[in-house]
Structure 1
Amino acid sequence: MPRRTRPAESARAVSSASAVSAAPSASPAAAASAASPGAEAGRGAAGSDSEGESSERAPGDLRRLRTEAASLRAFTEVGAGARRRDAIAAVTGAWLQRAWLGSGCQREGLALAAVGSLARSDSGPASDLDLVLLHDGRIGGKALGEIAERFWYPLWDSGVRLDHSVRTLEECRRVARDDLVAAVGMLDLRLIAGDPELVAGVRATISHDWRANARKRLPELMEAVRERHERHGELAHLIQPDLKESRGGLRDMTVIRALAAAWLADRPRGAVDEAYARLLDVRDALHLVTGRGRDRLVQQEHDAVAALLGYGDADLMLKDVTEAGRSIAYALDATSRRAGQSQRARTLRVGPRRPMLTPLGHGLSSHDGEIVLGPRTDPARDPLLLLRAARAAALAGLPIAPTTLDNLVENTPHLPKPWSPKARDIFGELLAAGDGLAGVWESLTLAGAVDQWIPAWSAIRSRPQHNPVHRHTVDRHSIQAVIEARPLLADVRRPDILLLACLLHDIGKAYGSDDHAHLGAEPAGQAVLALGYSAEEADQVAHLVRHHLTLVDLATRRDPDDPRTVEMLCEAIDDDPDTLDLLRALTEADARAAGPAAWSQWRARLVDDLVGAARRRLAAQGHGPDPHVVDPGPEEDGLPEVAAHVRAAAESVGVQVHVEDHGEGQLVEVIAPDRVGLFADTAGLLAAHGLSVRRARLATVDGLAVDRWHVESPTGARADAEAIERSMLRLLSGDRRGLTPLTRRPPRSHASPVTRALLVPDASEDSTVLELRATDRPGLLHDVGRCLASAKVSVRSAHVATYCGQAVDTVYLTEPDGAMLSPGRVAQVVGSLIDVADG
């Protein structure tokens, strides 16, 4: 690297100018302290113990000066944090430059540079100093060693922790190549004293190497970040977080800067800068409270740190820390995705490259690992588009692109309260998405969408929990309970009620009371009403919230052999078997979400024993399940009537299909002579035509099947009645090609609920009633219908519904001669249904 020499006096002038420019906001007191010779002596240069030499060479107790500079800045004033850190940087820079001058380091080809927090001007009162003595290789080893000792000794005696090194440009490149942490740190390299061209040259070379090797180093960096997060946990969910190393901590901001320095992604601004400054303020207060350079915010320091920062209590401070951690973690995720996308684009580009969009329906697409809007999609025209995007992202396990999310939140019209049935259904499917829900909900929360949907949510957002059993904040625990409920959805008749109860069960903790279950019942019910559910459904959710601790308390704290224990549980569920099933599932989901210590085999056995005893008591009292799981609506009360001309046309042609708009979907009515397999054929053709069945009611009137299917199309296309008729007539002639699309079946999720097929006893006097609960998928009803046709049973009527991606289908079956199924036949059909639904 070319070097320009300069006289020693010029070097001193440049160093002095650097001191002034590095700290324009230093206070007069701090500057005076920095400029004074220093009252406290340390050892002299080159290891001398002479008090006189120390007094002349050491410019003062740096640790004390830094603490005084920090203490001069009130923590509660607006902008005090930045001014405080500027003052610390000014004092430190001035001290180092005076030490540089006093140690006789003014040599050609020599410079002092900082990395880490000092280089970024965000040092805390007790932060380490990371310094590099740079040289161009022309100074001899012995002379260089003597120079280094003369400078390091006063620093060691100054009361601060020091990480130091002596390197040439090539040595810096080698260290950066071999040590990822060092490479990231040297990107912030900044001149303190000496030759500015030497420092500028090293920094430029390190930055060039970083960009040139980005393809290799990006995976290495991301793996190191992942391992660090696993070791230190997520700042947003910890009561005693490491402010630096945790996910969402200060070091993640350094990673974001490194990704931007590689020219792979833009550095995010705004909210993430505010979050970073907030964490720095907490770190500064922690340093002053403890008198040490600690980064872990341990519980015994919460009150003192909160008081210094001006908070009314420690929980308010922890909430802000959580919010800051969430913002930084979200920014890191988005920036790392952008970096990966840029790197792939560089690797694959051989010419103009068009975006590879995979349509997902409703104007949404997936692109390069994110959910984005299609090129002609206008959020202002679809009030449901934000919900649809959230559902698509959670189901696919992909994030919504940040610009897309901002566009959706800003431009999608707010949903009127109460929500429409369609909005309610999409929201339920979002909740039922499983593990993909957590990240999407986090992004929706940060964007402000969740507060629009559920205003009460803001009161529990980032609220800490001091119970050692809990591993998450209140809001994150609630979302985890929803996720933990997914495998249990087939255990209940109304999965949507279960998921809502999980989501809102701790809403009462916003009031800071031990009796949060009772306090949360009313706001939970109000939130459910606003989401478009009926008053009866809202009351059921409120009832579950009120009693979400009852089952586990009775099972673990009362005598299970005492009849009064079972009686108390039955009173809590109002003698309703469905509520008992919901409470059982809510209890397990809540416990599993709290942490490993909250749900064990022993506790599960106690709960199940008590639930079993309650079921036996209810059965003995005649409280059985209600087989009618679908409210058909006023237009479907009783058996449907068929006009004479429609009957004649259906019997002569073989089928009649009518389509009409119905709410936010379509109603497809199929009228045809009843036959074995008609249910399967109709369901299969609707799926093959890209239509999703939301609910259906099938009935037979005097040998004529009158089936009403409520469907929707992800593309917004209208069902084609004539095309469906033609396809059904081809099926009658034996041509099955219309069902070919059903062979392309998506893989089954490992987290899918276990399929249930249940006999509903005494539900009908002349039919056998079975209830199937299974994860919905394209072609499920077709497979169910084929299974029943293969078993040679007649479907007298059927009630089909979908809740939160979970099909809950009730079928009334008879033998071909009209007789009810025998117990052996019931077992055969139940086993076949479970097999085909799991297929």
Structure 2
Amino acid sequence: MSEPSTPLIEPVVLHARQRLRDGREKIRKRHDEGATGPQICAQITELFDRVILEIWNDIVTKQNARETASRLALIAHGGYGRCDIAPYSDVDLMLVPTRSVANAVQPLASALSRGIVDAGMQLGFSVRFPAEACKLAWKDPVIFSSLTESRLLCGSFHVYESFFETLRHGTMRRRNQLIESVQEARREERAKWGETNYLLRPNVKRSRGGLRDLQLIRWIGFACEGETELDRLVKLGSLPAGDYTRIRQAQAFLLRLRNELHFANGRSQDVLDRPTQMKIAEKWGYEPQEGRLAVEMFMQDYFEHTRNVRYASAYVYADARRSSLISRVFERVVSRRVDESIRVGPYHVWVVDRFLPSVAGNLSEVLRLMDVANRYSRRISHRTWQAIRLAMTNRPPGEPDAAAVRSFLSLMGRPGRLAELIRQLHELRVLEQFVPAMKRARGLLQFNEYHKYTVDRHCIRAVEAATQFESKEGPARERYRRLGDKLMLHLSLLIHDLGKGFEEDHSNVGKRIAAETADVLGLDEAASETLQWLVHKHLIMHYAAFRHDLNDPQIIAKFADDVGTVERLELLTLMSLADLTAVGPDVLTDWKEDLIEELYSRTKAYLETGRLPGQLSPQAIRKRDEIEQLLSSRSVSPLAHELLQQLPEPALLRPTIEFTANLLCETVAPLADGGTAPTICRGRFDASRGAIEYTVVMQPKAQPIGIFARATAALAACGLSILKAEITTLRDDWIWDTFLVEDQGSTANQDEHIRETGERVARMMTSGKPIPSQRKLWSSTVQSEASKIKLQPAEVSFDNDTMDCYTILLLFAYDRPGLLASISSVLANLKIVLHFAKIDTHLDQAVDVFYISELDGTKITAEERLQQIRGALLEAVDHVNE
């Protein structure tokens, strides 16, 4: 029996397919030669028109359907109807027939959709009667937004005009409902693809400030005026002329960028990932400048354009909304007068109409209004703000006068709606008149996987994070509320990272920026000195808390000496917490916050009483006494009591009393019967840190070199990612090391899984056999991107000044599975004694700190030896990255 024959593709479709392929290639060459984004989109639209019409006309002829075709309209809509379609985007078509040809249209529709798909195009297709299409549009914001961009491709103009005029007039009658509907749909899309236009892997179409927000202006314009073309909206007063100029420039940039992404991938692609950013920056001729990479210059342009789109779309949406007459009357009736020009209502603050022209163009008056808004925690009304925005946009920049400075300082000293108001000042380009360095930082990318926002965005978010302490449970709230004048904290956070983008260390540059800002703001000498110190030293708490042993008196004494006073310690602690919060989601983890609070409490105790670590806190002493009582009730060996007395504070406070007591009993039990010291690895889930903590206990037979390496290798072999490691030696001959890990292999029976993993680690450590390689895990998108770009090479540095007894080794590298195991193995092979280790990982980055010495206990100072260690470590890092 013969196979059923495959339907032959029509010759017209084969011709259309070849025309499409050749046409795209020709247009790509024009793109590479420098044609603008709108020009390329217009050429793609023209190509698609020719291909589709060629197929349509062939179908109409072969089906002898010219009479039917004259009574329907073939309509392009969406991006295709708008004529800004990208090279590999879907084409959206709608066939709109009259009732008289309803029965005859289906064969045409089926043949057309099949022919377009066979020609190699992605198709969105529907057949709707005019009234049906309008009703669907008014119910569904996605359909509505697409049909507002309708364009007649062929067929009856009368049918098209009837449909589109019905849509237009019906939309304007439903304007409020449809505006809120498309805005909500856009809000949901932004939440999925990126609520802020400063995301560092943006979707150029869907992220905030992207092409979709440009289109939102058109859709709102259609609801209000029945028009989508931007130049018409300017003439109708719905779009300011200044915004029109800026968003036309943004449109050209974004369309060109989207075309580049499509051509480079040979398919629809709208995500601008890190490797692609680098390639485009080079292709488009960007050059590095003043310590900034070429890719950072390119992305700064991207952020400038998306910012302008975001501002314009927000303006159009706010201007189009109509609050009810009742709500407007209510707010004005219950409002009260601040002075003759400003009134405050339950929700808004505004300028009285007759004073609005004079206030809007006066910087001092605008700052005074914002200070009032912050003091009463009210929004500035839309009418007042739009008048200010238009006036300030046309105002030439200049130095603020004394009154403006006073209002700015008053504004910065209170939480209220401070972050929102700072963003508005930044939008107006007024903020840079008070903080000149903000101008250079606008849209400045930090090209790493640690920061999620640009420099200016991060600094404003840091201020916002500080103001949110007021409503956040915990010690930060009490500390924040104790600050009478919050000016220094807010101002230092606003400028703390503005020194980035230079060759010199950003903290040193930041100190000079702080001095310059203090001069502009007329701060006195004491305030200027405090501001400079906070900006210059804003990272020292992170370094001390995350990279050093907080049980070491030397570390606390040195940090306290740097800080000097409890007042500065309070400011620096709040600054450190706010800075980490502003970096990105989930950066300030519970255990990082605990480390900062631990450093704060130890330093404060030393500054106030002179008490240094080594003297346990009352809480730790109480817990040790409870463990002591539990051990006494079990009649264990005196060795257990002796080890307990030497446990450091974290080992006493973090686990439960039962966990520590059981571990001590298990450690000494074999020795009571004359046996050998066991190797034990026990784990527990730490809910406060969302990770598992394993404790390894053993008594080495010789110098404890290589034990840490075997422990990290064993943990890695079990598929565990090490977040933190702490080394402790008890009684000079017992190892008590703890490892905080993430376990992607956790099961429903977590306790049993943790127990089995601990036993496996202990067996591998004592087997004497080579430990198998770590389990291969699927890498994340972030890790794969980092492996492609590798902009920041691994760094190894040594510090022989901080500690009297040890050399401090600091390693920065892209984190990979097995990295810590490889590093510790290198140190063991070099006969380096490891006394303390602290691991700090975030996303793709690891900062590992080790206190090391030679076998004889001396510091490592010989340059030749240091170079040997550095070379071996860098080689190991490169090997892990391969």
Q: Structures share a fold, TM > 0.5?
A: yes
**1:605 paired residue number:** 594
User: Does structure 2 conserve the Cα–Cα contact (< 8 Å) formed by 1:173 and 1:206?
Assistant: yes
Do residues 266 (structure 1) and 238 (structure 2) align? yes
**1:49 paired residue number:** 8
CA distance 1:356–1:251, change in 2 (3 Å): farther
- 1:412 Cα shift? 7.1
One-letter amino acid of the structure 1 residue matched with residue 238 of structure 2: D
Do residues 134 (structure 1) and 96 (structure 2) align? yes
Counterparts of 2:299 and 2:262 in 1: how far apart (Å)? 17
User: Does structure 1 conserve the Cα–Cα contact (< 8 Å) formed by 2:96 and 2:159?
Assistant: yes
One-letter amino acid of the structure 2 residue matched with residue 307 of structure 1: E
CA distance 1:128–1:50, change in 2 (3 Å): closer
User: Does structure 1 conserve the Cα–Cα contact (< 8 Å) formed by 2:545 and 2:596?
Assistant: yes
**2:424 paired residue number:** 443
- 1:447 Cα shift? 2.2
User: Does structure 1 conserve the Cα–Cα contact (< 8 Å) formed by 2:73 and 2:152?
Assistant: yes
- 1:186 Cα shift? 0.6
User: Does structure 2 conserve the Cα–Cα contact (< 8 Å) formed by 1:260 and 1:266?
Assistant: yes
Do residues 547 (structure 1) and 537 (structure 2) align? yes
Counterparts of 2:283 and 2:248 in 1: how far apart (Å)? 22
**2:606 paired residue number:** 617
Counterparts of 1:229 and 1:607 in 2: how far apart (Å)? 34
- 1:524 Cα shift? 1.9
Counterparts of 1:431 and 1:304 in 2: how far apart (Å)? 41
**2:558 paired residue number:** 568
- 1:64 Cα shift? 4.4
User: Does structure 1 conserve the Cα–Cα contact (< 8 Å) formed by 2:419 and 2:463?
Assistant: no
- 1:260 Cα shift? 1.4
**TM alignment of 1:369-380, pairs within 5 A:** 371-372=350-351, 374-377=353-356, 378-379=358-359
Do residues 385 (structure 1) and 365 (structure 2) align? yes
Counterparts of 1:443 and 1:479 in 2: how far apart (Å)? 11
User: Does structure 2 conserve the Cα–Cα contact (< 8 Å) formed by 1:47 and 1:153?
Assistant: no
**2:341 paired residue number:** 363
State the SS of the aligned residue for 1:529.
helix
Q: Unmatched 5+ residue regions in structure 2?
A: 226-236, 288-293, 471-478, 612-882
**1:531 paired residue number:** 521
**1:203 paired residue number:** 164
**TM alignment of 1:767-806, pairs within 5 A:** none
User: Does structure 2 conserve the Cα–Cα contact (< 8 Å) formed by 1:526 and 1:538?
Assistant: no
State the SS of the aligned residue for 2:127.
strand
- 1:200 Cα shift? 1.7
Counterparts of 1:600 and 1:325 in 2: how far apart (Å)? 31
**2:498 paired residue number:** 507
1:734-774 deviation per Cα after TM superposition (whole angstroms, max 9, x unaligned) = xxxxxxxxxxxxxxxxxxxxxxxxxxxxxxxxxxxxxxxxx
Identical aligned pairs, as a percentage?
25
Counterparts of 1:596 and 1:206 in 2: how far apart (Å)? 43
Do residues 344 (structure 1) and 324 (structure 2) align? yes
User: Does structure 2 conserve the Cα–Cα contact (< 8 Å) formed by 1:287 and 1:293?
Assistant: yes
Counterparts of 1:140 and 1:552 in 2: how far apart (Å)? 71
- 1:427 Cα shift? 1.5
**TM alignment of 1:103-502, pairs within 5 A:** 103-104=59-60, 106=66, 107-141=69-103, 143-263=104-224, 266-268=238-240, 269-312=244-287, 313-341=294-322, 344=324, 359-361=337-339, 363-365=341-343, 371-372=350-351, 374-377=353-356, 378-379=358-359, 383-394=363-374, 395-398=377-380, 401-409=384-392, 416=399, 420=402, 422-432=403-413, 434=415, 436-486=417-467, 487=470, 488-492=479-483, 494-502=485-493
User: Does structure 2 conserve the Cα–Cα contact (< 8 Å) formed by 1:330 and 1:443?
Assistant: no
User: Does structure 2 conserve the Cα–Cα contact (< 8 Å) formed by 1:256 and 1:335?
Assistant: yes
- 1:369 Cα shift? 5.5
State the SS of the aligned residue for 1:126.
coil
Counterparts of 1:604 and 1:195 in 2: how far apart (Å)? 68
- 1:494 Cα shift? 4.5
State the SS of the aligned residue for 1:337.
helix
CA RMSD, aligned part only?
A: 3.2
Q: Unmatched 5+ residue regions in structure 1?
A: 1-45, 623-839
**1:670 paired residue number:** none
- 1:109 Cα shift? 0.5
User: Does structure 1 conserve the Cα–Cα contact (< 8 Å) formed by 2:338 and 2:344?
Assistant: yes
Q: Quick check: 303-312 or 224-233, which moved more?
A: 303-312
One-letter amino acid of the structure 1 residue matched with residue 426 of structure 2: T
**TM alignment of 1:808-823, pairs within 5 A:** none
1:190-213 deviation per Cα after TM superposition (whole angstroms, max 9, x unaligned) = 011122221122111111221122
- 1:282 Cα shift? 1.4
Counterparts of 1:366 and 1:248 in 2: how far apart (Å)? 32
Counterparts of 2:210 and 2:333 in 1: how far apart (Å)? 33
One-letter amino acid of the structure 2 residue matched with residue 133 of structure 1: L
Counterparts of 1:535 and 1:168 in 2: how far apart (Å)? 76
Counterparts of 1:527 and 1:362 in 2: how far apart (Å)? 33
CA distance 1:50–1:456, change in 2 (3 Å): closer
**1:778 paired residue number:** none
**1:95 paired residue number:** 51
Counterparts of 2:295 and 2:544 in 1: how far apart (Å)? 34
CA distance 1:203–1:433, change in 2 (3 Å): farther
CA distance 1:437–1:50, change in 2 (3 Å): same
User: Does structure 2 conserve the Cα–Cα contact (< 8 Å) formed by 1:131 and 1:163?
Assistant: yes
One-letter amino acid of the structure 1 residue matched with residue 26 of structure 2: E
One-letter amino acid of the structure 1 residue matched with residue 548 of structure 2: R
- 1:322 Cα shift? 1.8
- 1:73 Cα shift? 3.5
One-letter amino acid of the structure 2 residue matched with residue 233 of structure 1: G
**1:594 paired residue number:** 583
Counterparts of 2:251 and 2:426 in 1: how far apart (Å)? 19
State the SS of the aligned residue for 2:75.
strand
**2:662 paired residue number:** none
1:625-662 deviation per Cα after TM superposition (whole angstroms, max 9, x unaligned) = xxxxxxxxxxxxxxxxxxxxxxxxxxxxxxxxxxxxxx
**2:874 paired residue number:** none
- 1:316 Cα shift? 2.1
- 1:439 Cα shift? 3.6
CA distance 1:246–1:50, change in 2 (3 Å): closer
State the SS of the aligned residue for 2:355.
coil
- 1:554 Cα shift? 0.5
- 1:169 Cα shift? 0.8
One-letter amino acid of the structure 2 residue matched with residue 498 of structure 1: L
- 1:238 Cα shift? 0.7
CA distance 1:355–1:511, change in 2 (3 Å): farther
CA distance 1:388–1:349, change in 2 (3 Å): closer
User: Does structure 1 conserve the Cα–Cα contact (< 8 Å) formed by 2:414 and 2:486?
Assistant: no
CA distance 1:254–1:607, change in 2 (3 Å): same
User: Does structure 1 conserve the Cα–Cα contact (< 8 Å) formed by 2:296 and 2:447?
Assistant: no
- 1:433 Cα shift? 5.0
CA distance 1:493–1:339, change in 2 (3 Å): closer
Number of aligned residue pairs: 565
User: Does structure 2 conserve the Cα–Cα contact (< 8 Å) formed by 1:61 and 1:159?
Assistant: no
- 1:404 Cα shift? 1.8
